[in-house]
Amino acid sequence: MKVTIGQYYPVESVIHKIDPRMKILLLIIFIAGVFFSNNFLGYIVSALFLGVSIKLSKVPFIFIFRGLRGFLFIILFTVVINMFFIDSGKVLFEFYFFKLTSDGVWFSVQMICRLGFLTAASSLLTFTTSPIQLTHAIERILKPFSRIGVPAHDIAMMMTIAIRFIPTLLEEVEKIRKAQMARGADFDVKGIKNKAKAFIPLLVPLFVSAFRRADDLAMAMEARCYRGDVNRTTMYKLKLEKLDYFVLLFGFLFLAFIFFTIDKR
Amino acid sequence: MRFIECEKVSFSYSNDEVLAEKNIDFKRNVFAVDHIDFSAIEGEFIAILGHNGSGKSTLAKLINGIFKPSEGRVIVDGLISADDKNIWEIRKNVGMVFQNPDNQIVATVVEEDVAFGAENIGIESREIIERVKKSLAAVDMSEYSKTAPHLLSGGQKQRIAIAGILAMKPKCIILDEATAMLDPIGRKKIIDIIMRLNREEKITIILITHFMEEALFADKVFVMENGKIVMSGMPKDIFSEAERLKSLGLDLPAAAAIGYNLRKCGINVDRNIVYDEEFVDYVVKSIKSEAKDKEYSRVEKREIFNDKIIEVKNVSYIYNESSAFEKKAIKNVTIDIFKGEIVALIGKTGSGKSTLVQTLNGLIKPTDGEIFVNGRNIWEKGFKIKEVRKKVGIVFQYPEYQLFEETVFKDAMFGPLNMGFSEEEATLRVIKAFKAVGIGSELFEKSPFELSGGQKRRVAIAGVIAMEPEVLILDEPTAGLDPKGRDEILANIKNARSGFDMTVVMVSHSMEEVCGISDRVIVMNNGEVILSGECGEVFQNGEILRDSGISPPAVNVIFKKIIDRGVIVPHNIYTVSDAVDFFKERL
């Protein structure tokens, strides 16, 4: 599998045990720190913070790097753009209208660090938090906003159902694909128009089936007394433990450190 | 006390699509449930029979308040369902398990799904945890509490669905064809569980089913037709009316079927004999002459097939090779398929049957081993795989889900056109194929999505037959159909063989079906072929079969019981017709 971001890595570790809400908060703190930081020391400390977290999570480093690979293009693209369009600072290299400056290089290094750390930290969150925990956390975080019309519960329920049916629908795609191939369908055709045409025998049954499943599921949910967020409880309540406060303290220490070491210009 | 009370209840779908889907081909506003009086006492076990579209499911949905009656009223535990404020209480009391195991699981972890209903009715967290634990134990699924549901088998998913209902502490559970999509082992487990719940927890059970033998255990049976209840009574009262049941498109359990056919031969078997034990008693008491030989030899000798059409040599297939999810689906399989025969492939879910049939026409490439079709290695360099697919056609499980064209006719044209036949040639072939499966020309221009379940399936099968492959492979062609639908498909398969000179390979879970139609049976277990031979030869290996999760046909079970009582009868009789043949001279 190419993209590893979004996958859960099921082991037991301190990081896995942290309350998912706290993990989301920490991710935000970390990203804020990385983006405020503007010197080498800041990035070293951020890297250490991230490195120690990954180590503690027992998720192999290679998994995190593979997660980065998917974003390599975006990162490189931003770097190249910045490298050549910033023209302040000492000129290092010039070729017609291309001009590479010291500021440009430094800015690119910053960009690599920021985007790299951001993707690595986000994938660490998904590696150590099961989808269901994540949805619970999002529901709880959004809850205060439901007064102003944010459908917190509905969003969480939709996420849960989506996650639940992804494997089922993937299986279905495979089955329909094979069934149509057995009827002589050819999916390896050239040209966008032909390709679109070739995929009709796959897409129509898939959509029909997805709608049928949605109908069935809605009925099954109603039969089990589902009526949205009315009078609803949850089996596992999220509860903040000592560990969570401890971790939060670390997060603030990190942020404070970054703030005090910012180069003021 | 009457727990459920339906008084002159009617319901009509006012929507054309639904009408079509339910195969109610009358005009609009016809009643799916038509002035029904129905009642159930607390703790009863009720079975509802009837062919597809007879109104069973609609009645079930009226009882748990998903639908509100158009006329009449439904009272559950003293609460009128038409009243909005009672709806949630009624749904809490009457849980429902639906047909498709996949489409009723909401959460991504088993225990969260079981908790779903209890969460909805506002049970407190600690109590939910307690209930989830108990409910999972009640369906023997405790060890799976943290599993992702998509990794479970169909039967296990249905058990989860039952657990989810139990966590709401219901007084009644309705199973709406909940066993239709399961294999025999999964089905038996579900029936065992609900019988236990009925006996021990006094939960009222309403079982809607197409399997007659499941209805035998009920306290009361209702038969529906065109939205009306046309028969009701104890299982005995129902299954003694053989002619009536046949005319309603239903079956008989094995003992009743043998009795009925013997009566037709002029032997006076009591029509009230419907249970195995009663029939065994009757035989033991009144058999005139025991069999001389323990082997039963059929009057007509089976055909012998010699020409190999497909050869499978040492084929293995590994899913997700060299990854954490590596799974050996088939191991070193060697079989031959002969021209003209009908071969049945049996084995429990996950034994490798579906994988094996997919290797036969090159849909998946074996990790190891070779496959020859008409003597040619299909993975040889320069051999076009499409040629193989032309010769070996596969009808997948639930093939109706692959229909996609605007009209029935266009859909069936898809295969032949892909295989390179001209428009005229393809048209001729499609017409011929539709004839073989009994799809009339009035349906040609309809959308496939307007047809009934059974019709859709026959259209899908015709789509493959129209390519006129030399070998027709069908993966569980009768799964989920009612008795009439099953019989039609089996007749289609026989037509395809005789009318098109096809060789047929059929994956099946129904041993009755297998013994009735096939020339040869191949048994798989854990990815290996463990037995192969005529029905009789295969089922002699009782122990091996039991270990592979296969139970013999119901007729054979009766004969074994007779033998156990010390009467000599053959041990190798598997079908009702052979049983009748044997008994008609001896009773």
Residue B516 corresponds to which tokens in the numbers above? 């009735």
pLDDT value, residue B17: 52
Q: Measure A140 CA to nearest chain B CA, in Å.
A: 16
pLDDT over 70 at B28, yes or no: no
Q: Do B389 and A182 touch (CB under 8 A)?
A: yes
What are residue B205's DSSP bridge partners? B45, B173
Alpha-carbon distance of A133 to A159, in angstroms, equals 11
How far is the alpha carbon of A131 from chain B, nearest alpha carbon, in Å? 8
Q: Residue A2: pLDDT band by 50, 70, 90 thresholds?
A: very low
Give the C-alpha separation, B488 to B467, whole Å. 21
Q: Which residues pair with B312 in a beta bridge?
A: B335, B371
**CB within 8 Å: B117 and A225:** yes
What percent of chain B lies above the pLDDT cut of 90? 76
Is residue B93 scored above 70 in pLDDT?
Answer: yes
> How far is the alpha carbon of A196 from chain B, nearest alpha carbon, in Å?
14
Smallest CA–CA distance, residue B18 to chain A, in Å, is 12
| CA-wise closest residue to B241 among B225, B253, B227, B229 | B253
pLDDT of residue A4: 46
Handedness of CA B561, B565, B571, B577 (dihedral sign): negative
How far is the alpha carbon of A58 from chain B, nearest alpha carbon, in Å?
17
Among A160, A231, A232, select the one facing B108 at the smallest CB separation.
A160
Of residues A179, A208, A225, nearest to B399 (C-beta):
A179
Query: Tokens 């590994």 label which residue?
Result: B318
B435 burial type by CB count under 10 A (0-12 exposed, 13-18 middle, 19+ buried): middle
What residues of B are in contact with residue A167 (Cβ under 8 Å)? 148, 150
The C-alpha of B297 sits at a distance from chain A's nearest C-alpha, in angstroms, of 40
In this prediction, residues B52-72 reach a mean pLDDT of 92
Would you call A223 and B95 a contact, using CB atoms and an 8 Å cutoff? yes
Q: Which of A1, A224, A229, A231 to mutate to test the interface with B (most CBs of B within 10 A)?
A: A224
Q: Are A45 and A162 in contact (CB under 8 A)?
A: no
Mean pLDDT calculated for residue range B393-399? 95
Chain A to chain B, count of Cβ pairs less than 8 Å apart?
157
pLDDT at A1: 36
| Structure-block tokens of residue B412 | 């069936």
Q: Which residues of B touch A227 (CB under 8 A)?
A: 88, 120
Which residue in A has a C-alpha nearest to residue B148's C-alpha?
Answer: A164
Axis-axis angle for helices A61-69, A102-128 (nearest 10): 120
Segment B196-240, tens digit of pLDDT = 999 999 999 999 999 999 999 999 999 999 999 999 999 999 999
Nearest chain A CA: its distance from B413 CA (Å) = 10
> From the list B122, B404, B464, which residue is nearest A233 (CB)?
B122
ipTM of the complex: 0.90
Residue B142, token pair as written in the block: 């405790």
User: Do the Cβ atoms of B360 and B371 come closer than 8 Å?
Assistant: yes
Q: Which of B66, B161, B389 sits opposite A184 (nearest CB)?
A: B389
Q: Is B92 exposed, middle or buried (0-12, 13-18, 19+ CB in 10 A)?
A: buried
Hey, are the CB atoms on B91 and A223 less than 8 Å from each other? Answer: yes
Band (A22; pLDDT cuts 50, 70, 90)? very high
Mind listing the pLDDT tens digit for each residue in B42-58? 999 999 999 988 999 99
Residue B390 to residue A184, Cβ atoms within 8 A: yes
Residue A172 confidence (pLDDT)? 93
Whether residue B27 has pLDDT greater than 50: no
Which of A183, A194, A206 is the best residue to mutate to test the B interface, defined by the most B CB atoms within 10 Å of its own CB?
A183
Shortest distance, CA A25 to any CA of chain B (angstroms): 24
Residue A229 is given by DSSP the state: B
User: In A58-151, which ranges are continuous DSSP H helix?
Assistant: 61-69, 72-85, 102-128, 131-142
Q: Do the chains contact at B66 and A179, CB–CB below 8 Å?
A: no
- For B361, the closest of A172, A182, A223 (CB atoms) is A182
**Which pLDDT score, from 0 to 100, does residue B23 have?**
53
CB contact under 8 A, A185 and B125: no
Q: Round to whole Å and give the CA distance between B433 and B468.
A: 8
Nearest Cβ partner for A179 among B88, B386, B402: B402
> Among the listed ranges A52-56, A136-140, A218-222, B322-326, which one has the minimum average pLDDT value?
B322-326
Which residues in chain B have Cβ-Cβ distances shorter than 8 Å to A222?
66, 91
What distance lies between CA B384 and its chain's CA centroid? 36
pLDDT digits (tens, 9 = 90+) for B423-462: 999 999 999 999 999 999 999 999 999 898 889 999 999 9
Residue A40 has pLDDT above 80, yes or no: yes
Q: Which residues of chain A lie closer than 8 angstroms to B92, CB-CB?
A: 225
Cβ contacts of A183 on chain B, cutoff 8 Å: 402, 414-415, 418, 463-464, 467
**Measured between CB atoms, which of A131, A225, A236 is closest to B120?**
A225
Partners of B330 in beta bridges: B317
pLDDT, tens digit, 9 for 90 and up, residues A158-173: 988 998 898 899 999 9
Distance from the A167 Cα atom to the nearest Cα atom in chain B, whole angstroms: 7
Residue of B362, B364, B390, B393 lying closest to B377 (CA atoms): B362
Minimal C-alpha gap between A233 and chain B (Å): 5
Residue A200: what pLDDT? 93
Q: A-chain residues within 8 Å CB-CB of B61? A: 219
* Mean pLDDT in residue range A240-255: 92
Residue B536's pLDDT band (cuts 50, 70, 90): confident
Mean pLDDT score of chain B, rounded to an integer?
A: 91
Contact A205 B401 (CB under 8 A): yes
**Tokens (6 digits) for A250:** 């670390």
A234/B119 Cβ within 8 A: yes
Q: Which residues of A touch B463 (CB under 8 A)?
A: 183
Q: Which of B120, B320, B403, B473 to mutate to test the interface with A (most CBs of A within 10 A)?
A: B120
Residue A194 in tokens: 């032909």
For B353-383, what is each residue's pLDDT tens digit?
Answer: 999 999 999 999 999 999 999 999 999 888 8
Across the interface, do B128 and A183 touch by the CB < 8 Å criterion?
A: no
B474 → chain A, closest CA residue: A179
For the entire predicted model, the pTM comes to 0.88
Query: Does the distance separating the beta carbons of B363 and A232 come in below 8 Å?
Result: no
Q: Which among A163, A184, A200 has the least Cβ separation from residue B404?
A: A200
Grouping H, G, I as helix, E, B as strand and the rest as coil, residue B84 is: helix
Q: Give the residue extent of every domain in chain A.
A: 1-151+233-265, 162-228
Measured between beta carbons, the chain B residues lying within 8 angstroms of A219 are 61, 66, 98
Per the structure block, which two tokens stand in for B359? 């290797």
Minimal CA separation from B79 to chain A, in Å: 16
With a cut of 50, say whether residue A3 has pLDDT above it: no
| DSSP assignment of A211-234 | HHHHHHHHHHHHHTT-BTBTT---
Query: Does the pLDDT of residue B14 top 80, yes or no?
Result: no
Which residues from B are below 8 Å from A231, CB to CB? 120-122
DSSP alpha helices (H): ranges in B139-253?
Answer: 154-166, 184-200, 212-215, 235-239, 242-247
